[in-house]
């Protein structure tokens, strides 16, 4: 049973660790964000990460992700992988020479968010983008888990990525990683994390090497990103082009519609996420089958409701009603581990709201629904 420190409402759907309710985030954002910013700062300091994206007036600007940190001498970026040392930006990861990540082979078909429409799990796009007309049994996904992020989601289910950015290891070069996709029956690479947005030069170089090799050898290698979408626009479009020509997919995890709610839950704005999704819509129109762009939203009880989902769905439909949208069941984790799992009633209400604007909506993680 959590209590809002502003209106003093008590409810199982208020995270006591966050300390504010949805109504106060929407209607009293100044007070709410003052409280949530302290929570973000306290948790990030445990991993040696700055509490918010630095904005030093005379600092050097990092342009890898959309946070555009401005770093004075001695300051570290929000992701923990870049630092201003003696007036020069030094990158400890995310370059073509060094990605801070873990990787593994994941047999197809996988439980990927896109599994209900991706070529590797369904055969859609065969024979150009899939080896078989059904699931690619016997083939593998090269899963790349990046150890840094441009968001700070307080309910992060992969929160242990912070230990990788803190240690700045393990590390793998783009060339070494691309070779992993050539050693076995790999038909797709999926970059996730953490989030690939803070290490895009590494994922793009890996993709270039893997894609060029696949063309020479006549192999299929789909290139996919699962991301919060907080890229620089240039890198978002570069990733989209690789996904487009390889049969891959850019999967945006749109956390919230309301900017204040996104800041409260995830530490930063969602403006770049929405702008990049809109920009990548031009590629979706070039290849809606199999879809090159999709979205998902985690249904966080008490915070992500049908109103949020309908606004997101309406936004997605401005590109095309056929864009796939996945609603994901939530379980309490990390700072917000005191919340219940998503209920069937919330999931169905949100799906009904989304279907007002979109034709392809599904609910994922059904086993978590209560």
Which range is least confidently modeled, 56-70, 157-171, 282-296? Answer: 157-171
The predicted structure's pLDDT at residue 111: 87
Interval 216-221 mean pLDDT:
96
Binding residues for [4Fe-4S] cluster: 149, 153, 156
Question: What are the strands, taking DSSP E only, across 73-116?
Answer: 82-85, 88-91, 99-107
Residue 89 dihedral angles phi and psi, to the nearest 5°: -75, 120
Domain that holds residue 262: 99-368
- Asked whether the predicted pLDDT for residue 166 surpasses 90, the reply is no
Digit-coded pLDDT (tens) for 310-361: 999 999 999 999 999 999 999 999 999 999 999 999 999 999 999 999 999 9
Interval 233-260 mean pLDDT:
97
8-state DSSP, 199: G
Residue 354 lies in a domain: yes
Place of tokens 């990788």: 164
Residues with Cβ < 8 Å from 131, sequence gap 6 or more? 139, 187, 220
Residue 42 lies in a domain: no
Of all residues in the chain, the percent with pLDDT exceeding 70 is 100
The predicted structure's pLDDT at residue 184: 85
Residue 222 lies in a domain: yes
Residue 291 lies in a domain: yes
Of all residues in the chain, the percent with pLDDT exceeding 90 is 96
Residues with Cβ < 8 Å from 46, sequence gap 6 or more? none
161-190 in b/e form (b: 16+ CB < 10 A) is bbebbbeeeebbbbeebbebbeeeebbbbb
- Asked whether the predicted pLDDT for residue 88 surpasses 90, the reply is yes
Interval 245-252 mean pLDDT:
98
The predicted structure's pLDDT at residue 151: 98
How far is 193 from 227, CA to CA, in rounded Å?
A: 8
Q: pLDDT category, 1, cuts 50, 70, 90?
A: confident
The predicted structure's pLDDT at residue 183: 85
Residue 27 dihedral angles phi and psi, to the nearest 5°: -105, -20
The number of folded domains in the chain is 1
Interval 365-370 mean pLDDT:
91
- Asked whether the predicted pLDDT for residue 193 surpasses 90, the reply is yes
- Asked whether the predicted pLDDT for residue 197 surpasses 90, the reply is yes
- Asked whether the predicted pLDDT for residue 283 surpasses 90, the reply is yes
Where residue 196 sits, what CATH number does that domain have?
Answer: 3.20.20.70
The predicted structure's pLDDT at residue 355: 98
Residue 72 lies in a domain: no
The predicted structure's pLDDT at residue 59: 96
Tokens representing 219? 């192999």
Q: pLDDT category, 270, cuts 50, 70, 90?
A: very high
Q: pLDDT category, 64, cuts 50, 70, 90?
A: very high
Residue 176 lies in a domain: yes
Q: Which of 290, 56, 48, 285 is nearest to 148 (CA)?
A: 48
Interval 45-61 mean pLDDT:
95
Q: Which of 146, 139, 131 is nearest to 177 (CA)?
A: 146
Residue 281 lies in a domain: yes
Residue 28 lies in a domain: no
Helix (H) or strand (E) holding 235: helix 233-246
Residues with Cβ < 8 Å from 27, sequence gap 6 or more? none
């Amino acid at each position: 049973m959590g209590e809002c420190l502003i209106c003093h409402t008590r409810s199982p759907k208020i995270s006591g660790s966050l300390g504010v309710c949805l109504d106060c985030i929407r209607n009293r954002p100044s007070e709410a964000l003052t409280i949530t910013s302290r929570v973000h700062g306290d948790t990030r300091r445990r991993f040696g990460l700055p509490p918010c994206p630095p904005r030093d007036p005379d600092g050097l600007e990092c342009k890898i992700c959309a946070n555009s940190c401005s770093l004075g001498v001695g300051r570290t970026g929000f992701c923990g992988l870049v630092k201003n040392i003696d007036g020069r930006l030094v990158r400890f990861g995310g370059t073509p020479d060094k990605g801070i990540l873990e990787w593994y082979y994941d047999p197809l078909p996988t439980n990927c968010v896109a599994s209900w429409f991706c070529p590797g799990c369904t055969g859609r796009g065969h024979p150009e983008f899939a080896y078989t007309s059904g699931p690619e049994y016997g083939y593998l996904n090269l899963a790349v888990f990046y150890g840094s992020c441009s968001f700070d989601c307080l309910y992060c289910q992969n929160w242990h990525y912070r230990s990788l950015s803190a240690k700045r290891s393990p590390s793998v070069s783009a060339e070494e990683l691309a070779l992993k996709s050539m050693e076995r029956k790999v038909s797709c690479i999926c970059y996730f994390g953490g989030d690939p947005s803070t290490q895009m030069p590494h994922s793009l170089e890996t993709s270039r090497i893997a894609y060029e090799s696949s063309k020479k050898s006549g192999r299929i290698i789909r290139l996919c990103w699962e991301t919060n979408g907080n890229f620089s626009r240039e890198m978002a479009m570069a990733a989209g082009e690789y996904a487009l020509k390889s049969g891959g997919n850019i999967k945006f995890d749109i956390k919230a519609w309301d900017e204040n709610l996104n800041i409260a839950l995830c530490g930063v704005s969602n403006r770049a996420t929405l702008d990049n999704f809109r920009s990548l819509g031009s590629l979706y129109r070039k290849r809606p089958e199999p879809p090159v762009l999709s979205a998902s939203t985690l249904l966080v009880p008490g915070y992500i409701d049908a109103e949020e989902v309908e606004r997101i769905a309406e936004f997605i439909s401005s590109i095309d009603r056929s864009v796939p949208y996945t609603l994901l069941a939530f379980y309490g984790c990390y700072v917000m581990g005191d919340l219940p799992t998503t209920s069937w009633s919330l999931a169905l209400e949100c799906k009904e709201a989304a279907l007002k604007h979109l034709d392809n909506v599904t609910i994922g993680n059904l086993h978590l629904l209560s």
